[in-house]
Amino acid sequence: MSILDSMNASSGSWQRYLWRTWTGRMLLALGTLCAVLLFLGALPMFSAGPREQDLADGLGEARAPASLTVASFNLAHGRGASGHQVFTSRQRQVEHLQQTAELMQQHGVTLALLQEADGNSWWNRRKDLVLSLAQAFDWQTGPRGYQVQGFGLDYGNAIISRYALRQARARNWPGGWGAPPKGAVAAVLDFDGEPLTVVSIHLEPFQRWRRMRQARSLAEWLHGHSGHLLIAGDFNADWNRADDAVRLLAESLALEPWPGAETSPPTFWTGRRLDWILVSSGLEISEPRILADAPSDHAMVIAEIRRRADDS
């Protein structure tokens, strides 16, 4: 028998042995699952949408009142609090969207800034999450950025509102190994006769240097924004570290979180506060709420936003 034949025979025996034992079958199953998850995790890295995007405006009531109820929520692709969206049934996905809409309606949300919002992705059965949520409120669907677009994936940040959204645009930041693309979506609404620029963001989760670079890019992108400014989303950073994205953006753009940022409740299962609403000095945040029972691995953050009394 040749060396090659001997190697093939031994390889076949090893594979048959693994398959015939319970431990072997478990190892093969776990190996296959890990390979699938690595494949799913790698796909977005190579599917970034265009860096700069001009988006369709969102239709709605022409003018918002002097107070808005704002929600920031990471939809987690409709999968809920755990697992991966590819393993989430259509029924469970619909239930998660219904729960999300019900929570927002219970709290009177009139402006929602969303992350991980799919439009036409195979891994969540081509369900347009943004359109579905907007329809639950009888709103028109709002602008959604193409943070990831390719290999059958189509998702990003989005904004939906009861009120008209104009000058909609998006900026993307490419990913790298182990880091999917991230981005921001911005639009302007008429806030009781004054322009209010609203921004939904999702920043890099793993590498702080990359997250800081994205935050600096965002600050540059928003330079010269119209009127008041509100930024909300999944920052993947908390307030307790001075050299991270939340404080960098707050200082660069003169933004304020709601009071008690250092000790506010967590919004992620690790016990960290990653989701924020930041506003410019002419606005104030009141009645902040963190809804830990929202169907996602992130809590839903809700707050009332109004003009400061001394700014009216």
Tell me the pLDDT tens digit for each residue of 266-278: 888 888 889 999 9
**DSSP symbol at 141:** P
Give dist(CA 11, CA 216) in Å, integer: 53
pLDDT band at 4 (very low <50, low <70, confident <90, very high): very low
pLDDT band at 261 (very low <50, low <70, confident <90, very high): low
Write out the DSSP string of 149-211: EETTEEEEEEEEESB-BEEEEEEEE--BTTB--EEEEEEEEEETTEEEEEEEEE--SS-HHHH
Tens of pLDDT, residue by residue over 284-304, are 999 989 999 999 999 999 999
DSSP three-state, residue 44: helix
Could you tell me what percent of the chain has a pLDDT over 70? 82
Q: In degrees, to the nearest 5, what angle opens at C-alpha 133 toward C-alphas 129 and 135?
A: 120
Beta bridge partners of 161: 111
pLDDT band at 7 (very low <50, low <70, confident <90, very high): very low
Residue 14 has pLDDT above 70, yes or no: no
Say which range, 18-32, 74-88, 250-264, has the weakest mean pLDDT: 18-32
- If one counts every other C-beta atom within 10 angstroms of the C-beta of residue 212, the result is 17
Could you tell me what percent of the chain has a pLDDT over 90? 57
pTM of the model: 0.84
Q: Domains in the chain and their CATH numbers?
A: 3-40 (no CATH), 48-311 (3.60.10.10)
Give dist(CA 255, CA 195) in Å, integer: 16
259 — phi, psi (to 5°)?
Answer: -55, 150
Of 254, 229, 162, 238, the C-alpha closest to 203 is 238
pLDDT band at 39 (very low <50, low <70, confident <90, very high): low
**pLDDT of amino acid 32:** 64
Average pLDDT value for residue range 154-159: 94
Average pLDDT value for residue range 83-92: 81
Question: What is the pLDDT of the chain when averaged over all its residues?
Answer: 86
Give dist(CA 224, CA 99) in Å, integer: 38
Write out the DSSP string of 271-290: S---EEEEEETTEEEEEEEE
Asked if residues 185 and 199 have their Cβ atoms less than 8 Å apart, the reply is: yes
Average pLDDT value for residue range 38-47: 56
Tens of pLDDT, residue by residue over 107-151, are 999 999 999 999 888 878 788 999 999 999 999 889 999 888 877
**pLDDT of amino acid 197:** 98
Residue predicted with more confidence, 243 or 167: 167
Asked if residues 196 and 307 have their Cβ atoms less than 8 Å apart, the reply is: no
